[in-house]
Structure 1
Amino acid sequence: MAAAPHLVDPQDDPAGGVCGELNAGLDRLDADLDALARAEGVTARHLGAVMHELTRLVNRTHALHDKGAAIADQIDVASRTGARSTGQWLARVTNSDPRAAHRQASRAAAAGLGVPSASREEPGLELVGPDDGRTGGDGSDGDGAGGDGARGQTVTPTGRAQLAGEISREHVEVIQHTMAALPSTVTEEARAGCEAELVALAVGHSPRDLRQLARRVLERVGTAEEQVDAHEHDQVAAQEERAWERSSFWVRDNGDGTMHGQFTVPTLAGQALKTILDAMSSPRRAGTGGRDVGQAGSTVPRELPAWLDTSLDPRTRQLARQQRQGQDLATLLTHLPTDHLHDKTAATVLVTTRLSDLQDVTGRVGSTADGEPLTAGQVRQIACQAGVVPVVLGSESQPLDLGRQARFFTAVQRAALALTYTTCAADGCDIPFGWTETHHLQPWTAGGRTDLANAVPLCGHHHRALDRGYEHTVRRAGRQVVIELARRRT
């Protein structure tokens, strides 16, 4: 039996023990990095090599930290200290998040990091205490650093790669998760081959990329393609189920006219939201040279969005983009369809037909908003069971009699307006019609009527611009009205 090595100074001297020596080395490294920052002519290649070695040091340090956690698990430190688990003990002594500490304990134990490296074992060294590593359940803190649990175990290939600094903690978790998810029918030889392949992939890929490649790791050890496909499908299905179960949402009132919240949704739903907001806030792709292409093909000057202004610092640009997307999210939320929240079916169907066809059992074919043909009988049938807005056309296919005149435009009138417009009526704006507000060309207060001839769809941005006094002109482009904004009145 050998005495415990002096990893730390018995007198709590920060400079004592092996850890003290390493901390002194880190101090020298810190000073060298300061000198590097002041040096001239440092090449990207040289700095890249430095970062590579720093990353390796970080990985090794994390691995040794995990190794300490694994040793704590093997000597059953939880029962010696009255902790519920090794993870709880780790969280207490390292001031870390309990969830992260539990994950660290599990990761380290699975990698076998608590097992001494055979190449460094000394002859006759016994890593057990006076009671052979057995605590007897009395909670006393023994002197041992091992026990029966360490015998017969080995450090896994993943653990060895982590100790060498070749892969990170995140890589280790991906590998361990992948190995645990392998089908029970996979042989031990194939499992060993899978782990070797995963470690090799981890050296040259990020954890995210490794997670993608790992789904088909069986393919790399000669498994039939059908089995590989089935296993990948099972993994994706399980991931989708976990993602759905982890979905959450909360929001609170800040009391200052705003609300703050957080949500977790499956990736597909999150990507859909991000795509919508990106599309709403992105500069017009049709424009070039800082100009927008109008609905009639004309170009108008456009102010560059703040997040694309290279004269601003990155943080300012980021905040500008976040503000704009927050505003776009607010616009989106106030224009979401809610008709499906009642007893009717999930969507309002816009059906174009003729009054004579609705009165005739064998009437003419109608169509939905996207051009899908419908028989008149089908139109009458779905009108009884879904939220359907019938758009009755006159002899010149113009919408007629779509609602009583009132202060506000009705849903039926907006449905008719959708037959004429697909986007905001402001020149060059491609915000979809569904996210617009119906604006009176001649203001209601000035005698304007609430009818289709006086209605125009505007997105929230351009509607507010008119309300704030921007000068503008109105021109006709076929059946549409196009509003061209000039400048704000001073």
Structure 2
Amino acid sequence: MGTSGGAGDARAAVSALAEGLERLAGAALWPLGDGELAEVAGLLDQVRRLADGQTVRLLGEVDSRGLPGQDGTGSPGAWLRKVSPTLRPAEAAGLGKQAQTLYRSALSPELAPTRGAPEAGALRVCQARVVTDTIEKLSPPHVPADGPEAIDADQVTTAQVMLLDDATRLPAADLAKCATAIRHHLDPSADDRLARDEKAQHRQRCLILSTEASGMTFLQGLLTKEAGAALRTAIDAWSAPQPADDGTPDPRTAGQRRHDALQRLAETTLARDEVPTSHGSHVKVIVRVTGETLAAAIAPSGPDQIKPTGLPPAELDDGTPISRQLLARLSCGAALVPVLLDDLGNPLEVGRTLRDYTARQRTALIERDRHCTWPGCTAPVSWCDAHHVDYWEHGGRTDLTRGALLCGRHHRYVHATGATARLVDGQIIWTEPGSPPESPPPDPQRWQRQYLQRLTRQWLVPRRE
């Protein structure tokens, strides 16, 4: 691939761009007017488009020199990951594939208009990918080179021009819909090819779950059409806003509501034992915890009782630390198995699964409560957990008089604040934090000592000799 400038021109241009952005990082934004902020935002978007377009051009040069084969990376995308290790694999692979199509494939001459648009920053790489994929599928060998099903080259060129024009106004998802309509108009066998594409997509399906440094889980993947439709339908059904009875809007963002809906899907499945067994047992969430930490977590707690203890945190099975509040909340369900550790982190015993309400008991709770029992909340029963009013670990009974339905948001709130409840004439009455207690609160230190003494007897299965 040829260049028109000197060997140092490209490096100098990129260095100047980086220096300009560094100067921007040190510049105050508050003096800018509203219109100037919008102008700067537009310029930054242009920089992103140009940077991605030039990255694709650079990868085309890398591929033309055979560098991925020489250093063992094998592909332009993998080569990019080697020099930019923090780049996400899917993003690097997409840029590499686009470079191969635009600069190294048999269609490269025909794709010159599409190639020039992202280079000039006039088109996003994701939009260019829609155009190149469409032109590929309208050209041999995807369609016959001759015969009644062959597509005239001039029509393919016209399709490229139309899509490039549409790309100036449409995001990639809407552009893809236009591309599909063009394909079906020009290719009489497009539906058969669509079926083959779907088979190929089935092979490409993937889901990646990785733990970030913060302990949160990053989710990324490609779902087939049917899997995506099923997941989207389920999440949409459970992610509607939940305004309060007085009309106060749901404070959660749309993304947060979808997150909560996905969490509810997983928790509901685990609670109903609808997952495959592993070595004869239903899959459960494993938590590694010392006895002292567990005792502190399950002791009655309120905002004034959650104090530093110097104890190590509990950990999920992948090593992610969790707070005592989260440990206590997890202990309400049946999907938790505690693994007690000694002071050196070695497992002492594996606890039995914490007791949960049976399906018949939950049905009775649903009939009684009808929705979340927190005052003013009408979240449907499908969003609710069966909460132990007296935690089972504290000696409470798993029966209808000691259970209450709580949606995920208020379940977290109850565990975080230590709110209490009682059953009065068939109705759950909650005492909010700060309200006068009906009796003096128990001494948390006494409770912790008692719980720790009872752990082996009440929680743990006998050791097998």
TM class by shorter chain equals 0.5 to 0.7
The correspondence of residues 30-179 of structure 1 with structure 2, limited to 5 A, is 30=21, 33=24, 37=28, 40-44=31-35, 46-74=36-64, 76-78=65-67, 81=70, 85=74, 87=76, 90-91=79-80, 94-95=83-84, 103-112=94-103, 153=109, 156-179=112-135
Provide the C-alpha distance between the structure 2 equivalents of 1:79 and 1:486, rounded to a whole number of angstroms.
65
What whole-Å deviation, never above 9, does each CA across 1:104-158 have from its counterpart, x for those lacking one?
Answer: 45423432489xxxxxxxxxxxxxxxxxxxxxxxxxxxxxxxxxx99x9465220
Runs (5+) with no aligned partner, structure 2: 144-148, 278-354, 442-465
- Match for 2:239 among 278, 284, 291? 278
- Which residue does 2:205 correspond to in 1? 246
Provide the C-alpha distance between the structure 2 equivalents of 1:210 and 1:85, rounded to a whole number of angstroms.
31
What whole-Å deviation, never above 9, does each CA across 1:434-471 have from its counterpart, x for those lacking one?
Answer: 565667999999xx99987x586523666784998645
Q: 1:419 to 1:339 in 2, by over 3 A?
A: farther
Q: 1:339 to 1:429 in 2, by over 3 A?
A: farther
Provide the C-alpha distance between the structure 1 equivalents of 2:204 and 2:126, rounded to a whole number of angstroms.
23
Contact 2:134–2:179 (Cα < 8 Å) also in 1: yes
Provide the C-alpha distance between the structure 2 equivalents of 1:463 and 1:27, rounded to a whole number of angstroms.
48
Runs (5+) with no aligned partner, structure 1: 9-16, 115-148, 291-303, 309-316, 342-406
Q: Which amino acid aligns with 1:201?
A: D
Deviation at 1:57, TM superposition (A): 4.6
- Which residue does 2:136 correspond to in 1? 180
Deviation at 1:233, TM superposition (A): 8.8
The correspondence of residues 287-306 of structure 1 with structure 2, limited to 5 A, is 287-289=246-248
Q: 1:180 to 1:417 in 2, by over 3 A?
A: same
- Match for 1:191 among 140, 152, 156? 156
| Alignment size in residue pairs | 338
Partner SS, residue 6 of structure 2: coil
Q: Which amino acid aligns with 2:427?
A: V
Asked if residue 485 in structure 1 is aligned to residue 421 in structure 2, the reply is no
Provide the C-alpha distance between the structure 2 equivalents of 1:340 and 1:468, rounded to a whole number of angstroms.
36
Partner SS, residue 198 of structure 1: helix
What whole-Å deviation, never above 9, does each CA across 1:31-83 have from its counterpart, x for those lacking one?
Answer: 77469745735332x44344444444543454344334334544x53599575
Contact 2:131–2:164 (Cα < 8 Å) also in 1: yes
- Match for 2:406 among 446, 452, 459? 459
Deviation at 1:200, TM superposition (A): 1.1
What whole-Å deviation, never above 9, does each CA across 1:88-107 have from its counterpart, x for those lacking one?
Answer: 89448845678766654542
Contact 2:60–2:104 (Cα < 8 Å) also in 1: yes
- Match for 1:335 among 268, 271, 274? 271
Contact 2:56–2:99 (Cα < 8 Å) also in 1: yes
Provide the C-alpha distance between the structure 2 equivalents of 1:286 and 1:235, rounded to a whole number of angstroms.
48
Percent of aligned pairs sharing the same letter: 18
Provide the C-alpha distance between the structure 1 equivalents of 2:210 and 2:22, rounded to a whole number of angstroms.
46
Asked if residue 212 in structure 1 is aligned to residue 177 in structure 2, the reply is yes
Contact 2:102–2:111 (Cα < 8 Å) also in 1: yes
Normalising by structure 2, what TM-score? 0.52
Provide the C-alpha distance between the structure 2 equivalents of 1:86 and 1:483, rounded to a whole number of angstroms.
62
Provide the C-alpha distance between the structure 2 equivalents of 1:202 and 1:155, rounded to a whole number of angstroms.
15
Q: Which amino acid aligns with 1:484?
A: I
Provide the C-alpha distance between the structure 2 equivalents of 1:60 and 1:436, rounded to a whole number of angstroms.
48
Deviation at 1:167, TM superposition (A): 0.7
Deviation at 1:261, TM superposition (A): 8.2
Q: Which amino acid aligns with 1:458?
A: L
Question: What's the Cα RMSD here?
Answer: 5.5
Deviation at 1:166, TM superposition (A): 0.8
Asked if residue 429 in structure 1 is aligned to residue 367 in structure 2, the reply is no
Structure with max Cα Rg = 1
Normalising by structure 1, what TM-score? 0.50
What whole-Å deviation, never above 9, does each CA across 1:320-340 have from its counterpart, x for those lacking one?
Answer: 989977975675344335399
Q: Which has the higher contact order (CA 8 A, sep 6+)?
A: 2
Contact 1:427–1:482 (Cα < 8 Å) also in 2: no
Q: 1:192 to 1:485 in 2, by over 3 A?
A: same
Provide the C-alpha distance between the structure 2 equivalents of 1:442 and 1:86, rounded to a whole number of angstroms.
59
